[in-house]
Structure 1
Amino acid sequence: MKFLRNTALALLAAGLPLAAYAQAPALTTFPVGTATVTASALTTGLDHVWELVWGPDNFLWMTERGGRISRVNPATGQVLPLLTLPDVTPTGESGLLGMALHPDFATTPHVFVVYNYTDAGSLKEKVVRYTYSAAANSLTAPVVVLGNIPATTTHSGSRLLILPDRTLLVTTGDAQMLPEAQNRASLNGKILRLNLDGTVPADNPTAGSMVYTLGHRNPQGLVRLPDGRLYSSEHGPSNDDEINKIEPNRNYGWPNVEGACDLPGEAAFCAANNVREPLTTWTPTIAPAGLTYYDHPAIPGWRGSLLLATLKNQQLVQLPLNAAGDAITARPVFLTSAFGRLRAICVSPEGRVYLGSSNGGSDRILTLENRAFVASATRAANAFAFDLFPNPARRQATLRLPMANARVTVRDLLGRAVLTLPRAGTTAVLDLTGLRAGSYSVQVEGAAGSATRQLLVD
């Protein structure tokens, strides 16, 4: 356990670029409620940014469709290449796509990527696991977790998402083989769920099958909220791009249903096949891509919303959710045509939003931030403090807070919320029984400011 604790703290310290985020020149500003959001370029000269993930080293991890995997320093924009995949096939829309980091990165530094490759003249898709070395800044020891998925140069998906139970979700497109989306024996047009070693989880909807959901055309965004709800963005044909609430064993209709079940033939199919209608659709299409969830006080107007990057419409779309998470209440847009096609998106623990463009050859990562919040939060941090004990802790930890009605959020090394207390009293108890051993951050937000402390769970 001492090794785990020291390794976790070393990871947090070694890459911590918090000393000074040099403010890059503003490219544009725009209002979000009462806040002013500034967009600036973190780094340029990239080529089709496909994935952005906030890493446990406090760096951005990035994939580019041509096959390069890199770490990006969010304080300086320096790009540190880790690996260019030797067997990727970047043709049309195919190439290196999604990426996910193991939640227990301090002790299991595994990086999962999904990409297209050529096998005996045929284009296919596979999920491969690499092992990261911080000392060498490299990825080595590839292991194919899932391979031989049929593919074409379009409709390959694919996003990866590791769930708290350490299973992996993989979105796959229909590979232009439309009927396969309804074929449970096919891996195409699905969201798949598998163990991290590539085996089938015992509690999947159908015994022995990786199929978690079916009836998808080309899902290219996937996000899990702190309360466990899952959402996906999906490309329609020439109509009905979708945002879907993902539920196990549900059918999402394609190709028999486009968008809602609002035609007679569609309604009958939906009733007979457990179809889950989308939360919202777009006609004309917008080409929805990366999807994330925002719930940080830095930009209050975005709290409780999905944020969607779009390719065709070249916009950032805010999708506020209702309290139940089963309806989208508005669709405001930002940055229309300002930076071209937008595909990748993620949020840092400090509330900055990072966007990756996908124009080809001259792409960049953009930083969206409320610079006024960063300054005021820094000043308030000294006056806003709380006690946390015991630390390290095992089954529970106690918080002594400076005021009531504070919001408490526990985040893992990837910055993901794993425990939330929306309205804590002046004393609160954290139930840690569902958390694995490792390092976490405890963030407390109240009317007087916010503060964060590290918590070690034995």
Structure 2
Amino acid sequence: MKFLRNVTLALLAALPFAARSQAPALTTFSVGSTTVTASALATNLDHVWELLWGPDNFLWMTERSGRISRVDPATGQVLPLLTLPDVTPVGESGLLGMVLDPDFAATPYVYVVYNYTEAGSLKEKLVRLTYSATANTLTAPLVLLGDIPATTTHSGSRLLILPDRTLLMTTGDAQLLPEAQSLASLNGKILRLNLDGTVPADNPTPGSLVYTLGHRNPQGLVRLPDGRLYSSEHGPNNDDEINKIEAGRNYGWPSVEGNCTTPSELAFCAANNVREPLTTWTPTIAPAGLTYYDHPAIPGWRGSLLLATLKNQQLVQLPLSPTGDDITARTEFVTNAFGRLRAICVAPSGAVYLGTSNGSTDRIIALENRSFVATGTRAASDFSFSLFPNPARRQATVQLPQPNALLTVRDLLGRAVLTRRATGTTATLDLSSLRPGAYSLQVQTALGSATRQLVVE
């Protein structure tokens, strides 16, 4: 255990990574008073489907043809790990979503979902792979969930691991429209599994993997630091959606398209616990990757969902209301600049990475505020805070240099797992929801920002 803790702390210490040499600007645009520069990090890719920021401070990427790679954010070098031999990349099918185990230092598992062919039929499965840092390989495939009917369209699928170590997986309706409303089918759902593939005991329907139902083709999924979940979903010729995901809710498809408006939709919604979307688009925009932005590098994006779109070839900012139940505006960026956009992720530096989905000339695009300097690099005499006890168990106390500080606890993947606003100069963190392990605590005030390691026992 002491060895694993040391490895974990070493990974945390590596979080402040060196900035990559500045690549030539492809374009610039304004977000409020901030100038954002877009540049190409990696090129000659093929239908980038997933981008994640890994605990090794590399981007992890899937391409629809079946390749999984690590990408060096400093140089753009693509380091292939594995090309899955049984992926079927036909139409929109192929290698789709990916997520890394939250305890990656101890259990270096990589979860992927992809389409494959069995007995002449296209299907979908969730597979766990094991990563070797020394060999730079992925091996030991273990099927956690398979035999899901699929077609060359409407397969989903994004993956997300929750703090309780359960996994969410989105599935499309595979053009089998009635299946989206059937609890006996895994199509048209958001599924929730334990990391060994079993059914969590507290799922909405006992013995069932179904977490939510009534989905058409959800291709974006994100969790906010406070636990709220959101998904993006393709509509037919109308009503693309952003949904707030709540356990056990029905999202209407195919009986409801968008909001509950017609008499038949209103009756169905009343009878089936339907959760209406936060916003819709008609004509459709083909929404794909979805993330949340709350970093000082680009202040105008803070508190917003960021959505990558395929058909409209845009990055869309969707600010959330304080309760998270409303989207207060829609602002588009980089329209038609890079073609179809599928994947999106945010680095700990505040840079946003986009993966394009045009063909064999695809790229990873970096969006950066090149004038931003992380104040966490300032001298301790300029800014500091105290944290005790550390290691901590259920609670930790933070002594702050000034009130109104934002406190963010991040896991090894750089994801915010706990946030709170401190009104005074002393704050108590409730750590009871966090698993034992190493984290980082970032404190942001008007004086600056600083980060310390936090160990939860």
TM-score (norm 1): 0.97
Report the equivalent of 1:245.
244
Aligned residues: 457
Which aligned pairs between 1:290-369 and structure 2 lie closer than 5 A? 290-369=289-368
Shift in alpha-carbon separation, 1:133–1:166, aligned structure 2, 3 A = same
- 8 Å contact kept, 2:89–2:95: yes
Aligned to 2:96: 97
Note the C-alpha offset of 1:380: 7.4
Change (3 A) 1:323 1:89: same
2:146 corresponding residue in structure 1: 147
Deviations along 1:99-142, one digit per CA (max 9) or x if unpaired, are 01111111111110000000011000000001111111111111
The aligned counterpart of 1:40 is 39
CA RMSD of aligned residues (A): 1.5
Deviation at 1:336, TM superposition (A): 0.1
SS in 2 for 1:371: coil
Letter in 1 for 2:112: V
Give the AA of the match of 1:143: L
Match of 1:286 in 2: 285
| Cα distance in 2 for residues equivalent to 1:120 and 1:412 | 42
Q: Which residue of 2 aligns with 1:266?
A: 265
Q: CA deviation at 1:266?
A: 1.1
What one-letter code is carried by the residue in structure 2 that aligns with 1:35? Answer: T
- On the 8 A contact 1:54/1:348 being kept in 2, the answer is yes
Q: 1:107 to 1:376 in 2, by over 3 A?
A: closer
Q: In the TM superposition, what are the counterparts of 1:428-439 in structure 2 within 5 Å?
A: 428-439=427-438
Match of residue 6 from structure 1? 6
Change (3 A) 1:129 1:382: farther
Residue aligned with 2:8, SS = helix
Q: CA deviation at 1:450?
A: 0.9
Summarize the Cα distance change of 1:315–1:369 in structure 2 as closer, same or farther, 3 Å threshold: same
CA distance in 1, matches of 2:375, 2:141: 45
Deviation for aligned residue 1:379 = 5.3
Question: Structure 1 unaligned runs (5+)?
Answer: none
**Counterpart Cα distance in 2 of 1:454 and 1:259:** 44
The residue type equivalent to 2:3 in the other structure is F
Give CA deviations for 1:222-272 in whole Å, capped at 9, x if unaligned.
011111111100000111100011111111111111111111111111111
Letter matched to residue 9 of structure 1: L
Matching residue of 1:426:
425
Task: Mark the CA change 1:24 to 1:374 in structure 2 (over 3 Å): closer, same or farther.
Answer: farther
Which amino acid in structure 2 is aligned with residue 11 of structure 1?
A: L
Q: Distance in 2 between matches of 1:50 and 1:389?
A: 42
Residue identity matched to 1:409:
T
**What is the distance in 1 between the residues matched to 2:12 and 2:349?**
14
What SS does the corresponding residue of 1:372 show, helix, strand or coil? Answer: coil
**Do the aligned residues in 1 keep the contact of 2:11 with 2:412 (CA within 8 Å)?**
no
CA distance in 1, matches of 2:75, 2:435: 32
User: 1:146-192: CA deviations, max 9, x gaps?
Assistant: 00000000000000111111111110001011111111101101111
Shift of 1:429: 2.6
Amino acid of the residue matched to residue 2 of structure 1? K
Structure 2: gaps of 5 or more residues: none
Report 1:438-449 matches (<5 A). Answer: 438-449=437-448
The C-alpha deviation readout for 1:24-72, integer Å capped at 9, x for no partner, is 1111111111211111111111110000111111111110000011111
Task: Give the Cα–Cα distance (whole angstroms) in 2 for the partners of residues 177 and 7 of structure 1.
Answer: 47
- Rounded Cα–Cα distance in structure 2 between residues aligned with 1:235 and 1:380: 48
1:227, 1:307 → 2: CA distance? Answer: 17
Partner SS for 1:266? helix
In 2, the alpha carbon distance for the partners of 1:261 and 1:375 equals 46
Please give the alpha-carbon distance, in whole angstroms, between the structure 1 residues aligned to 2:349 and 2:309: 24
Q: Which runs of 4+ in 1 moved over 4 A?
A: 375-382
Cα-to-partner distance string for 1:344-390 (whole Å, 9 max, x where unaligned):
00111121111100001011111111112236664577722222233
Deviates more, 1:149-158 or 1:379-388: 379-388
What secondary structure sits across from 2:373 in the alignment?
Answer: helix
Partner of 2:413: 414
Give the % identical residues.
Answer: 81
CA distance 1:11–1:239, change in 2 (3 Å): same
Structure 2 Cα separation of the partners of residues 353 and 388 of structure 1: 30
Distance, in Å, in 2 between the alignment partners of 1:16 and 1:82 is: 22
Q: Classify 1:339/1:58 alpha carbon distance in 2 versus 1 (closer, same or farther; 3 Å).
A: same
Separation in 2 of the partners of 1:350 and 1:375?
8
Q: After superposition, where does 1:87-126 map in structure 2 within 5 Å?
A: 87-126=86-125
Partner of 1:395: 394
Distance 1:234 1:65 in 2: 19
Shift of 1:431: 2.4
What is the CA distance between 1:204 and its match in structure 2?
0.8
- How far residue 421 of structure 1 moved from its aligned partner, in angstroms, is 1.9
Q: 1:81 to 1:424 in 2, by over 3 A?
A: farther
1:337 Cα deviation after fit:
0.1
